[in-house]
Amino acid sequence: MSVATLTACTQRGGGTREEALAVSRTSYACGLIALSTDAPGEDAFVEHLAREAREGQANFALIFYSRSLFESEKLAGALNRHLTWLPHAGCTTAGEITPDGLHEGQAVALLFPSLGFTTSGVLLENISSLDIKSVSGQVDALRRSFTAKRQDQPGLFAICLIDGLSYAEESVTSAIHWELEDIPLVGGSAGDELKFEKTSLIWNGGVYTDSAVVMLFSTDIPFHTFKTDNFVATDNKLVVTASDPARRTVSEFNAAKAADEYAAVVGTMPEDLAPLSFASHPTVVRVGGEYFCRSIQKSNPDGSLSFFCAIDDGIVLSIARAVDLVESTDAALHEIDSRLGGTDIILGFDCVLRRLDAVNRQVVRGLSEVYRRNHVVGFGTYGEQYQSMHLNQTFTGIAFGLRHAAE
């Protein structure tokens, strides 16, 4: 891995001059290149991205960006001016993970080299009202065409980016996974810095909401898909007795007002409930002998609670107890490193609630250092995709090993 800080150049009035857009460049042994910046200027960043893509013979780019740094429409315009020749996808975030660790208000791009990676993708639009058969049909067509023409690269994996405010992640993720058959799937839900107003996806120069992008990759680089979390279920139970599944809201737990009941169980007052409360005291549901998080998004004025994941009457939730976030994450990534025989880079999708929990427990610096040391690049999400599941308060991703490990 090598790291460099570069200065972008832009065209102004027929002349070229240097701008104060500092772009950090990190290259990896497998050929991937990560670029990150905290300086505004969509055109300057994309021009730099285009130069790096040409020099590195890239065939695909992923771009994750803060709404406070880049405007989606301006970024799409810059991509249409400077990067039409390179297929690309991206989304807005709830925080970024650069090669330097956890950040906010930045943009990070990942370039995939043509040597070692083959990529194809499809855009799924209007997913909140899209028939699941249509999702299945489009993903099935993508899989068939991709596997028929892919190069001699044995490894296959899929990445999904999806609108984090679409309320459709569960059904869409399940349909995608079903059609992918045995191809592992990971991904993340786009965020908007906890504003909960609008998230955006980028697909080949277009801006989309209520959409998902599914990308298939083949590679000869060793890799491993994973998920990890840091909670253990307790005996404290909450039964959903009144809910609005379409809007993911719960108005009653145990036949009492939802916010009141939740606050009583976790030991706080209803008026004090905030994102930090929900991050530190997640609710989990047991499925097939394993617990999965059903995280609360916010408390509403009427005493109901909004969730990040699907919810329905009769679901039994357990209050979870957090274990050490830094130690558990470090242990999980160490296990992956041992499995691969060395980790080159990790593309990670990290729930924003984990970051809030890290803030609450004052361990952000420690978690950031774990990500930096393990070469994680990615973004903070409103939910994570892993195989057929849409999850919360987890860290999912794909770790790439060193090329020599495959030889």
Q: Specify whether 340 is located in the same domain as 304.
A: no
- On whether both 353 and 308 belong to a single domain, the answer is no
Q: How do residues 310-359 score in pLDDT, each as one tens digit?
A: 889 999 999 998 889 999 999 999 999 999 999 999 999 999 989 988 99
| 125 and 41 belong to one structural domain | no
261 and 386 share one domain = no
pTM of the model: 0.87
* Residues of the domain holding 358: 115-226+326-406
Do 8 and 98 share a domain, yes or no? yes
Domain limit, last residue, from 293, 322, 351: 322
Q: Do residues 345 and 264 both lie within one domain?
A: no
Q: How confident is the model at residue 301 (pLDDT cuts 50, 70, 90)?
A: very high
Same domain, yes or no: 217 and 170 = yes
pLDDT score, position 331? 96
Arithmetic mean of pLDDT over the chain: 90
Domain at 27, CATH number: 3.30.1180
Does 315 lie in the same domain as 277?
A: yes
Return the CA Rg of the chain.
21
User: Is the pLDDT confidence value at 12 over 50?
Assistant: no
Is it the case that residue 153 has pLDDT exceeding 70?
Answer: no
Query: Domain ends where: 48, 77, 112?
Result: 112
How many structural domains comprise the chain? 3
Residues 208 and 125 in one domain: yes
Among 322, 338, 363, where does a domain finish? 322
Percent of the chain clearing pLDDT 70 (strictly above): 93
Using one digit for the tens of pLDDT, what is the confidence trace for 59-97?
Answer: 999 999 999 999 999 999 999 999 999 999 999 999 999
The answer on 206 and 334 residing in a single domain is yes
Over residues 364-384, mean pLDDT: 97
Asked whether residue 210 falls in the same domain as residue 264, the answer is no
Residues 202 and 350 in one domain: yes
Strands 316-322 and 231-244: antiparallel
